[in-house]
Amino acid sequence: MSFPENVDKDSMMKQAQNIWTMLDEMADNNPQAYRKFIDKHMKEGKEYMKPPEPHMCVMTMITSTKRRYFINFCSWNKIPEPKTPDDAIPVMGTPVLHDKDDNGDFTYSGVAFNPKILEEFGIDCKNSMDRNSLINLAIDYIFNQNKITLSRSFTILPSKSKSKGNLPVLQKAFQGLNKNADQEFDEHLSEMEKTFGLQGCGAKDSLLNKLAHMSTEDNEQDKNAPNIQLPGLGKEQPKKQNLIQEIDPSNQIHDAELKVPEYSLEEIHKEENLEKLVLTVKLPGVHKVSECELDISEDDIDLTVQDRYHLNLSFHYLINDSIASAKFNKSDSSLVINLPIQT
């Protein structure tokens, strides 16, 4: 794996040498424990080298063209998990890809997280707002990476449809992003194996995961870099806000200053026709409607509460913005917005 600029290469190599020495001593003094250790890490190494697996797929649209856009959330062992609730949440994203189905052309891309992140905040998350926060952060990430503005109105595909687009192409795109780093790291390991004479065929690969995580743990985040916040993490015990950290060659971290508030969007039908949309936004800490700045157009809505919240949604339907209305409920600090559909 490539060494980040702020990681001491000599220190990294010294740590690796210590592991080699420890294994040599174990092989001499306790061959059975040595073999058990190697077998365990061989198994972990194989898991680590697996391609990303689809976890869930979200459909939204590009606001400027109304073209369908699918976000493929993938689980990948190569993406490290945060060590504490205060640490950044690493993520890696693919370039934008294109495909077509029976409904026409569509655009898609992938975002990969550590499996434990998706177990907690993915498709089976008990709190839908936590899951929505992760999805909204993926939308922010795609904008920061590709300058594509996606609608905040989205649909999670059924669990049997975990991906959309060409999955092998998507997996190769992920592996292509990581190829140079893996090759360089493997070369370092090969050099150390020759130097220190690690016993046991294939032991070099068995330590890939452990050594790769060393470089991640030693890679201290730039304190001056902006961050993307993941609001509402962990309801069972108090936690500070997590951060989401992009895994890319430049190790850049982008920012989203304001929280995306919790919201729900309901379709109201009259007979068989869609009559209006009702958007309910939860705004804890807001006490009066004058704190809200609301802008409604025929195809989107923009809500800002200074220094607290920002919500921007685009709609699949045209809104009759001239007769749209909003009501603020002080009892639960919620804003209910009625959005009649153009006929």
Domains and CATH numbers, the chain: 1-257 (no CATH), 263-340 (2.60.40.790)
Closest-CA residue to 217 (of 113, 116, 80, 92) = 80
pLDDT, residue 194, reads 53
Chain Cα centroid distance, residue 54: 13
- Whole-structure pTM value: 0.49
Task: For 152-192, list the strands marked E by DSSP.
Answer: 155-156
pLDDT digit string, tens, across residues 69-125: 999 999 998 888 887 877 777 888 999 999 999 889 999 999 999 999 999 999 998
3-state secondary structure at position 283:
coil
* Strand-pair category, 325-329 with 88-93: unpaired
Q: Which of these, 61, 74, 77, 56, lies nearest to 125 by C-alpha position?
A: 56
Alpha carbon separation from 249 to 5, 169, 205, 226 (Å, rounded)? 11, 20, 23, 17
* Residues whose CB is less than 8 angstroms from the CB of residue 10 and which lie 6 or more positions away in sequence, other chains included: none
**Residue 228: partners with Cβ closer than 8 Å, 6 or more residues away:** 137, 140, 141, 144, 243, 244, 253, 254, 255, 256
pLDDT in tens, 161-201: 999 999 999 988 887 765 555 555 555 555 544 544 444 44
